Amino acid sequence: MVRTQVYIPEDLYSQALVVAQIRGVSVSVVLREGLAKEVGRVKKSKKGGLFSNLAGALKNGPRNMSGRVNDIYK
């Protein structure tokens, strides 16, 4: 495990301390779990991101776009 130092607002630390006391774990555990959850959420959102949405849109488009372009520019 890597040791690091992070500055967080006092109110956030107080809330993390309360959660840790309720769960019977350290504040470090609460912070690690919160960070892991956030990182996992970001990774999941990138899987179905912009390129995935564009691929879905293109899949449902017209089959022969070149013919349509020629018709448009006549």
HSE (CB half, 13 Å, CA atoms) of 5?
0
CA–CA gap between residue 72 and residue 66 (Å, rounded): 10
Per-residue pLDDT tens listing for the chain (74 residues): 999 999 999 999 999 999 999 999 999 999 999 999 988 877 776 666 556 666 665 566 666 655 665 666 65
Distance of alpha carbon 58 from alpha carbon 64, whole angstroms? 12
| Stated pTM of the model | 0.56
pLDDT at 40: 84
Residue 30 CA, chain-centre distance (Å), reads 19
